[in-house]
Amino acid sequence: MYARTATAAVAATALMGAGALLMSTADTQTTGRAAAGHTGTVTGLRTVSARTTDMKGAAPVVVAHRGASAYAPENTLAAVDKADALGFDWVENDVQFTKDGVLVVVHDTDLKRTTDVEEVFPDRAPWAVKDFTAAEIARLDAGSWFGPQFAGTRVPTLKQYLDRIERNHQKLLLEIKSPELYPGIEKETLRVLGQKGWLDRDHVRNRLVIQSFGADSVQKVHQRRPDVTTGFLGTPAVADLPSYAAFTDQINSSYTSISADYVKAVHALKGAHGKKLRVNTWTVNDAANATRVAGFGVDGIITNTPDVVRGATG
């Protein structure tokens, strides 16, 4: 079960499926929700501010990858709620277009791994997300593959996802998935974010990062909304970092592709908003690697097991 959750996380170049703004302003990232007005009681959690993440030895911000995806089906509302129950503000998700232009939250460009699409629509191979309408995808079971207790879990639309994390007072690292397959996805993503209130001053400054493996996609977001914090997924050569810094605020790299020297080289530059370029690394699911990358000085760690990473680095 856990192995299936993690397999799709390593793709393209050196992702996520992210890190600290993820805190490019003086916002407070509170794993227990106090700063966000959350009324639940969570014990044993620590508060990390944007300023302290720049201090030597401070813990990286922990981001729940596709929600707490080691414990609930990835990219579902159940995974978001599990991250919330564990006390984590930041969640990461993936967004794609349906055939009729609705944004849905799902990682793979086909529906085979994480739904029962082959049973419901046996004659629709290769079951690409873009070949199904939102109503058809809404019929699919996106939880039984993970465990019987999640039977009937659905693939959420981006609007449904935003409603849930807003209810939970959480923060969002949103990946535009495979933008080359979906012309116009950047514009529509921003439109939906605006419609749901996620492009106001508070959300933009403190609760939202948009990232992609596609440099062109990140540039389009930056051009349309230069106030929004953006991240590039990958590990550009050090010599190329200045060109990325012109349109992004974060370099979000696989933990297998970075070193302390690479993190230092990223930190030496200022990003699109004139603040230190940040590094958020993925997908770190064990204590040993979490401790190792924290020693590199990364700003954030993206993980399927946020509790494990918090225990190792907090």
Q: How far apart are CA 69 and CA 42, in angstroms?
A: 20
Catalytic residue among 65, 169, 222, 267: 65
Q: Is 107 a catalytic residue?
A: yes
The vertex-191 CA angle with 132 and 283, nearest 5°, equals 70
Q: Is 65 a catalytic residue?
A: yes
Here the tokens at position 129 are 């997300």
Amino acid at 113: R
3-state secondary structure of 184: coil
Asked if residues 251 and 241 have their Cβ atoms less than 8 Å apart, the reply is yes
Q: How far apart are CA 141 and CA 99, in angstroms?
A: 19
Catalytic residue among 38, 107, 203, 267: 107
- Percentage helix, strand, coil for the chain under 3-state DSSP, each rounded to 5: 35, 20, 45
| Helix orientation angle between 306-313 and 77-86, rounded to the nearest 10 degrees | 30
The vertex-60 CA angle with 74 and 14, nearest 5°, equals 60
Cβ neighbours, 10 Å, residue 115: 28
Residues with a known catalytic role: 65, 107
